[in-house]
Structure 1
């Protein structure tokens, strides 16, 4: 799929299989989500710009590279996106964090906003939206729309699993927002859940299933 990067590293595939297993405990599910999020973060930041600076090693001066520009912004979609945040912050601890509070209406499946808080200079930063599941795509579309309204220009979406319907919805609404995911599954069922999927990520993460 154009605009979609499937991260198929063996470690990602292995951890995703464990997360899909219905017998995986809440504790292990959280741990795996944190670990796989770090691996996804590694991939989504692969093309960040670098700049050369002068430093001194214990041996001699040299020119070395560091990430250029302002720090990243991670934008987890509440609540389940928070489960991916710590794994990403382990790789980029200086990143800012925006919180996007959205829930899916059980009747219409539309996204309803209840909270939003973000740094004021989003236009100068790369914003990475994080949410475990890209199912109908309504929530992700609403989050990106809200972030753009707040000034964000360079936005990327990272999810654990995606459905073709969600990818299509995102690309129709925001063709300029690339997607990184561990897998694109078969389809959605009549309740809007990804098939075969892994169930409700938020419920499994917080033990509310």
Structure 2
């Protein structure tokens, strides 16, 4: 599908399969989510701009590559986004963090916004928005709209699973924002859950119902 990159790395797919299994424990699910998010972060940042700076190695001077520009922002859509956030911060510990409180009303399937906190100067930073599931896409669309309203211009969206319905809605709402995912599943069911999916990511990560 246009506008979305599927990260098909064997380690990503293997860990995702274990996470899908309903017998996987809360502790294992949480650990696997952290591990897989590090791998996903590697892929979504593979084309970051580099510059060089002079350093001294034990053998002598060199011009060494370093990231160019202001530090990244990882924007977590609460609460499940925090599961991806932790593994990404393992890889990029200097990144700034934004938290966006959006939940899906289970009757209307529409997003309800309740919290927003982000670093300043978003217009000059790459912002990577994270949420494990892109189901209807409504929460992600609303979260990114909040970021754009506060100046963000360079945005990417990263999820673990995506449904075709959510991909289409997201692409219509934010055609300028590239999407990255580990898998595109078959469809949404009548309750708006991804099928075959892995259930509710937040509930499985935190042991809630």
**Range of TM-score over shorter length:** over 0.9
Q: Which residue of 1 aligns with 2:105?
A: 105
Between the aligned partners of 1:92 and 1:193, the Cα distance in structure 2 is 31
- The structural deviation recorded for 1:106 is 1.1
Q: Which residue of 2 aligns with 1:190?
A: 190
| 3-state DSSP of counterpart to 1:83 | helix
Q: Which residue of 2 aligns with 1:75?
A: 75
Between the aligned partners of 2:167 and 2:66, the Cα distance in structure 1 is 33
Structure 1 runs not aligned, ≥5 long: none
| 3-state DSSP of counterpart to 1:139 | helix
| 3-state DSSP of counterpart to 2:151 | coil
Q: Which residue of 1 aligns with 2:205?
A: 205
Q: Which residue of 2 aligns with 1:84?
A: 84
Q: Which residue of 1 aligns with 2:125?
A: 125
- The structural deviation recorded for 1:105 is 0.8
Q: Which residue of 1 aligns with 2:63?
A: 63
Q: How many equivalent residue pairs?
A: 209
- The structural deviation recorded for 1:3 is 1.5
Moved over 3 A (4+): none
Q: Which residue of 2 aligns with 1:114?
A: 114
Between the aligned partners of 2:204 and 2:72, the Cα distance in structure 1 is 28
Between the aligned partners of 2:27 and 2:178, the Cα distance in structure 1 is 31
Structure-to-structure mapping, 1:40-59, within 5 angstroms: 40-59=40-59
Q: Which residue of 2 aligns with 1:175?
A: 175
| 1:62-92: CA deviation from partner (whole Å, max 9, x where unpaired) | 0110000000000000000011111000110
| 3-state DSSP of counterpart to 2:128 | strand
Between the aligned partners of 1:207 and 1:153, the Cα distance in structure 2 is 36
Between the aligned partners of 1:70 and 1:16, the Cα distance in structure 2 is 32
Q: Which residue of 2 aligns with 1:156?
A: 156
Between the aligned partners of 1:151 and 1:110, the Cα distance in structure 2 is 24
Q: Which residue of 2 aligns with 1:6?
A: 6
Q: Which residue of 2 aligns with 1:147?
A: 147
| 3-state DSSP of counterpart to 2:55 | strand
RMSD over aligned Cα, in angstroms? 0.5
- The structural deviation recorded for 1:95 is 0.2
Q: Which residue of 1 aligns with 2:38?
A: 38
| 3-state DSSP of counterpart to 2:52 | strand
Between the aligned partners of 1:63 and 1:106, the Cα distance in structure 2 is 54
Provide TM-score, normalisation by structure 2.
0.99
Q: Which residue of 1 aligns with 2:20?
A: 20
Between the aligned partners of 1:183 and 1:159, the Cα distance in structure 2 is 9
Provide TM-score, normalisation by structure 1.
0.99
